Structures are given as structure tokens and as C-alpha cells.
Amino acid sequence: MPEFPERIKLERGELRLVISSEKIAERVEALGGMISEAHPAGDLTVIGVLKGGVNFMADLIRTITVPMNIDFVRLARYGDETESSREVRITKDIEIDIRGRDVIVVDDIYDTGMTLRFLVDRLSTLGAKSVKVCVLINKKERRTESFEADYRGFEVGEGFVVGYGLDYKEGYRNLPGIYMLHED
């Protein structure tokens, strides 16, 4: 894996490493162990939220030791850059039947919670036996929904984070660690 510096200079600011790729790998392995232990019989469906959750989900499913199937969903919220609405739209739906199955939703970040709340409610109406949420980053500063993610990687406070699937204007998803964006 290529080496990335702890600080990356940008045109108007910099990125500062806050969670290394090694720490992410350790935590992902632990989360996979917890999920495997909670579902010893398998019958598990893991649903990744596109695009941000892809890196996390790819690594996570390699650590889950019980039978599973996978699928993806892509959601969009309307609104401008400063304020998004509460309306969530499905732009790519799941393609497998989840009736009677335990479902784990995997996403990169749990921020306001509006999108995850919408998805959990939707999957429940499709007949899932249970729906749990696994997020890499739990960020409470803008939380508007009252439920908690069942599996959480890291708590991050104020600020904008990128890397390991998280983006800023579709960039920086490829960084192996999590970086905080500091603008000048």
C-alpha cells in the first residue's frame, strides 16, 4: 500500500490525519468479529450504502466469518450545499429479497441520521427479520435522529472528514486513513 503523509497540503488549506489505516484495519476486524458473534447461524444480508460505504464494506465483509449475501443501495437527499432537506430518494435500490433475514446496513458516516433512519425504516417494511446499522464514523454534532448505530468504528467530533470512502466534492475517497479538512 502506498504511503500517505500525515498532512496533505491543499490549494486553500490542508488535510490532517486523524485515524490511521492501521487503526482502521484493527477496528474493522473487531467489528467483523462482533457481527459474526451476534449472527452465528448466518442468514445475514449486508447492504452497503453507495458510494462512501464501499471501502469500509469491502474490508468489513472479509472479516465476517458467517454465511452472508451482499447488496448495495444508493440514496440522495435534496437541498443546496448549506442545507439539505429531509426528503430522501432511492437512486439505486437493493436487488435481493431480505424477507426473514437479519440485515446489517454498512455506511461510512452517521451524521444527521436522516438518511440512515429512512433506510432502516424502508428495509424493515420489506420484511427484514432485523435491521442493524454499522458505521465507520459516528459523528454526533449535527445529529437530528434519536437512534444509535449498533456497530460503530470511531467517534469524531466537529469538523469535516475525508478518506477511506469519505469524500469532499467526490475527491479523497482513495486515502487509506481518515483526514480532517482544515481550510485557510
Q: ∠41-42-43 over CA atoms, to 5°?
A: 115
Please name the residues in contact with 145: beta carbons below 8 A apart, sequence gap of 6 or more: 112, 113, 114, 116, 117
Contact 8, 176 (CB under 8 A): no
In tens, the pLDDT along 47-87 reads 999 999 999 999 999 999 999 999 999 998 755 443 445 68
How high is the pLDDT of residue 55?
96
Residue type, 93: D
CA quadruple 7, 10, 14, 16: dihedral sign: negative
Q: Exactly one of 43, 97, 111, 184 is catalytic; which is it? A: 111
Q: Which pLDDT value is given to residue 41?
A: 87
Whether 80 is catalytic:
no
For 95-127, how does the pLDDT look when each residue is reduced to its tens digit (9 = 90+)? 999 999 999 999 999 988 888 999 999 999 999
Percent of the chain with pLDDT over 70: 93
Q: Which domains does the chain have, with CATH numbers?
A: 21-156 (3.40.50.2020)
Looking up cell 469500509, which residue turns up? 56
Q: Give the C-alpha separation, 112 to 145, whole Å.
A: 7
pTM value is 0.90
